[in-house]
Amino acid sequence: MTEAGTVAIIGGGVIGAGWAARFLRNGFVVLVHDPAPDAERKLEAVLANAELAHARLTMAGPTSGGSIRFVASMAEAVEGADLIQESAPEREDLKTAIYAEIERHARPDALICSSTSGLLPSRLQSDMAHPERFLVAHPFNPVYLLPLVELCGGKATDKAAIERASALFKSVGMRPLIVRKEIDGFIADRLMEALWREALWLVNDDIATTEEIDDAVRFGCGLRWALMGTFQTYWLAGGEGGMRHMLAQFGPALKWPWSKLTDVPDLTDELIDTIAEQCDAQARGASPRELERLRDRCLAAIMQGLRTENFAAGETLHAYEEILFDRAVDDPGPGDVDISQPLRLVERQVPAEWVDYNNHMTESRYVHLSGEASDAVFHLIGIDKAYRGTGRSYYTVESHVAFKREVPALARLSITTQILGADDKRLHMFHRLDDAASGTEIATVEQLSLHVDREAGKAVPVEGAVAEKLKALAEAQSRLPSPESAGHGIRFRKTI
């Protein structure tokens, strides 16, 4: 079953509502049953959040044909469903009673899955008439965004049911992880529980506050965990010697009292061989250097994503960029650049993530690069952190792009900027993007910027040392011939 069908959601709390949102956006008919009086209101709030998140996650829109409605009875929810996803509270007696009711009304071929975060499927299915179609499908909050779903069958679960469920969850953008043996808490929750127990001890012993503990994760290991789990991270720590070298060097530390969790398996030759062989296979033939480069690219992408929200490591990156930009004001400065010639202040290699499905740089990045060139000009005339701190800066109000050549990933571009005009509030610039090696023209971007006071909410005159530097720059550049395509979109007559 990989095509959209009908899903019954039993329990519309945080997890059930997240499931509903994911299936809805993938074109399923979703029927929700929850006896709580405010369940429908809470569901609507989750659906709204899911829509906002999906818009940020992908440019692809939701699958058409999806619908959702609350129903008054469990029978009405499940009678025509292909999948029944139970997300009731973590009580074994409650869940088993729900399955008995489900089986009285569900189709014989319907999959029945539980969202339980730790109850064993063999116990949950023990009283079912058809336990072979039952399994745990444990998601992670927010369900509409995080892809992991742990699939765990019980003693009576048919292997075909797990395969059907895996195919279905893949079709809605999830990453099924099949738990090979039944165990309380499955895999991910057991890992999180271990960290949680140690965190509680650190607070209890007054070693760290809750915020300090969270910072230790979100600014360090948590960033790595987003792309490489514990074993692959440690495999890289072993360098060219891999996991065997890492275990030989750091394995004895497991006997040290670094953690309250000191009950660990002995590092026997057999266990070391198993871990080393599995980690080598996990690398899929990549060398440590190749995986390090992949790790670094992924970490940079994550931190840039966090930077857009100015949160966690993104806030730190933003503050660091402010330092770098301020340094750029003085290096190079107006005295180090021939301001009588077009300004070549930016050279940039096109990152692979800037390339679209046609394998060329996407259109928005041309404007992005012209923005970097504009920033370089602003730095040149003395607009630094202190200046921006007064609430004043230049804002682009018009951009006109002329595309001349396509740009592949990893191409190196240089950007040359010419000042076409300036007055006390306006700055008219012309950016030319060239292939850095050949000098071939790639594109031109003509921009008009206004000097704005954010608090006043309007354009204001530029003043002081910045005004003097801008005047000297504009006058020096006024002797240059105007580029052939300049002025076609922006008319600018008054200059300083």
- Position 467 scores a pLDDT of 95
**Residue 199 resides in a domain:** yes
CA distances to 196, 200, 201, 259, 260 from 204, rounded to whole Å, are 12, 6, 5, 13, 12
Does residue 388 sit in the same domain as residue 461? yes
Length of the chain: 496
Does residue 112 sit in the same domain as residue 164? yes
Phi/psi of residue 392, nearest 5 degrees: -110, 140
Does residue 25 sit in the same domain as residue 161? yes
Contact call for residues 317 and 304 (beta carbons, < 8 A): yes
- Position 245 scores a pLDDT of 87
Block residue for tokens 């299915």: 125
Q: Which residue has the higher pLDDT, 409 or 119?
A: 119
pLDDT at 331 over 50: no
Query: What is the span of the domain harbouring residue 408?
Result: 332-477
b/e map 298-331, b = 16+ CB within 10 Å? ebeebbeebbeeeebbbeebbeeeeeebeebbee
Contact call for residues 271 and 234 (beta carbons, < 8 A): no
Closest of 235, 303, 315 to residue 275, by C-alpha:
235
How high does pLDDT run on average in the chain? 91
Domains of the chain: total: 3
**Residue 207 resides in a domain:** yes
Closest of 68, 60, 85 to residue 8, by C-alpha:
85
pLDDT category at 327 given cuts 50, 70, 90 is low
Block residue for tokens 């602003």: 378
**Residue 290 resides in a domain:** yes
Contact call for residues 472 and 383 (beta carbons, < 8 A): no
Distance separating the N- and C-terminal Cα atoms of the chain:
69
Does residue 60 sit in the same domain as residue 208? no
**Residue 374 resides in a domain:** yes
Q: Which residue has the higher pLDDT, 485 or 14?
A: 14
Q: Which two tokens stand for residue 39?
A: 């369940």
Cis peptide before 142 (omega within 30 of 0): yes
Domain termination site, one of 110, 144, 178: 178
Does residue 355 sit in the same domain as residue 237? no
Least confident residue range of 59-68, 74-83, 125-134, 363-372: 59-68
pLDDT at 333 over 50: no
Burial group, residue 213, by CB count within 10 angstroms (0-12, 13-18, 19+): middle
Residue-wise pLDDT for 47-68, tens only, equals: 999 999 988 888 788 888 899 9
Does residue 220 sit in the same domain as residue 144? no
Does residue 370 sit in the same domain as residue 436? yes
Q: What is the pTM of this model?
A: 0.74
Instruction: Please report the sign of the dihedral spanned by the C-alpha atoms of residue 445, residue 450, residue 451, residue 457.
Output: negative
Task: Work out the average pLDDT over 85-108.
Answer: 96
Least confident residue range of 149-158, 335-344, 450-459: 335-344
Q: Which two tokens stand for residue 47?
A: 């659906």
CATH number of the CATH domain containing 414 = 3.10.129.10
Task: Work out the average pLDDT over 246-255.
Answer: 81
Does residue 467 sit in the same domain as residue 347? yes
- Position 334 scores a pLDDT of 45
Closest of 339, 488, 492, 484 to residue 420, by C-alpha:
492
- Position 250 scores a pLDDT of 77
Closest of 219, 201, 209, 211 to residue 260, by C-alpha:
201
Does residue 154 sit in the same domain as residue 204? no
Does residue 254 sit in the same domain as residue 352? no
Contact call for residues 91 and 101 (beta carbons, < 8 A): no
- Position 328 scores a pLDDT of 56
- Position 289 scores a pLDDT of 87
List of residues 6+ apart from 135 with CB closer than 8 A: 111, 112, 113, 114, 121, 151, 152, 153, 154, 157, 161, 162, 165
